[in-house]
Amino acid sequence: MAVFEARRAGGTFTTLLLILAKDLRVEWRTREIVTSMGLPALLLVIVLGAGHADAASAPTAMWVTYAFSAALGFARTFALERGGLSALRLAPVDGAAVVLAKTASNWLTLLIVQLVSLPVFGALFTEQIWTRVGALALPLLLGGLALAVVGTLLGALIMQTRLREVLLPLLMLPVMLPALIAAVGATTAILDGQPVRAVSAQLQLLLAFDILFAATSLLLFDVIVEE
C-alpha cells in the first residue's frame, strides 16, 4: 500500500508527493475543483471586462478574480475528503506533509485557473498581459502561493463549520489584504512596462507573507488536521 511505502521511504517529502499525487489524480478524474474555481473565475473576468476594461483596471480585476476563485474553491478541497480527513489522520503520516500537500494541490489548481484566465484577461483588458507574461510570472506565482497558503489554513480550520463556503471568503480576504495590495502593485508596475527589479519591495512583501503563513500552517498543523 502506498502509505506503508511512505513509512519505509522515510519521509515527509515522499508522503507529501504521494498525497499530492492522490489529490491531483482525483481532481483529474472528477475535474470538480477546477470547474468550481475556473467557471466563476471566467465569469468574473467577463463581467469585470464588460465594464471599464483597460490596462489600468486589469491588475485589480485579475487579483479580485483570483482571490474570489481561491475563496470559493478552497472551501471545497477539504470537503471533498470523504469522512473528513479521517483516513489521512489514521494513516501513519506526518501531519505537516498533509498540510503541505493540500497547500500544494490548492496552489496548482489556482495556477491552472490563472493560466487559463490569462488569455481572456489579455483579450479583454490589455495585450500587455501577454507580452509581459514572463515578468508577471513572479507576482502571479508568489501571490497565488499566498492565496493557497492562507486558503488552505483557514479552509481546514472551518471544515466542520456551518456555512463554510460563506465563511471562507469572510475570513480569508482581510488576512490576504497586504498580499493582495502588494500583488496588485507589482502587477500594475509591470504592466506599465517597469522591470521586475522595480517591484522588488512588493515581491519581498509577498515572499515574507508566504513564508510567515507557511510557517504558521506548519506550526499549527496538528490543530488543522486533528478532530
Partner 1 sequence: MRLLLISAGLLMIVGMTWALALAPDEAIQGFPQRIMYVHVPSVLMTYLALGLCFVGSALFLWRGDRRWDRLAHVCGELGVLFVTMTLATGTIWGRPVWGTWWTWDARLTTTLMLWFIYVGYLVVRAWAPGTRGARAAAVIGVIGILDLPLIHWSAILLRTLHPQPTVFRPEGPALPASMLAPLGVNVAAFLAIFLVLLFLRLRQERTLDRLVTMVEGA
174 binds partner 1 (CB under 8 A): yes
Nearest alpha carbon to residue 97 among 14, 16, 8:
16
160 binds partner 1 (CB under 8 A): yes
Q: What are phi and psi of 133, to 5 degrees?
A: -60, -30
154 binds partner 1 (CB under 8 A): yes
56 binds partner 1 (CB under 8 A): no
218 binds partner 1 (CB under 8 A): no
The answer to whether the Cα torsion of 179, 180, 181, 182 is positive or negative is positive
Among 30, 35, 200, 216, indicate the residue that binds partner 1 (CB under 8 A).
216
Among 173, 196, 198, 207, indicate the residue that binds partner 1 (CB under 8 A).
173
223 binds partner 1 (CB under 8 A): yes
User: Do 85 and 102 touch, CB atoms closer than 8 A?
Assistant: no
Residues 22-51 binding partner 1 (CB under 8 A) are none
Q: How far is the CB of 165 from partner 1 (least distance, A)?
A: 12
The contact mask relative to partner 1 for 115-134 (x = CB under 8 A, - = no) is: --------------------
64 binds partner 1 (CB under 8 A): no
Q: How far is the CB of 163 from partner 1 (least distance, A)?
A: 6
What cell does 25 get? 489524480
Binding piece for partner 1, criterion CB under 8 A, among 49-57, 71-79, 120-128, 173-181: 173-181
Judged by CB under 8 A, how many residues of this single chain contact partner 1? 24
User: Do 31 and 113 touch, CB atoms closer than 8 A?
Assistant: no
Rounded CA gap, 71 and 60, in Å? 16
Residues 177-206 binding partner 1 (CB under 8 A) are 177-178, 181
Among 24, 167, 196, 198, indicate the residue that binds partner 1 (CB under 8 A).
167
Interface contacts to partner 1, rule CB under 8 A: 153-154, 157-158, 160-163, 167, 170-171, 173-175, 177-178, 181, 212-213, 216, 220, 223-224, 227
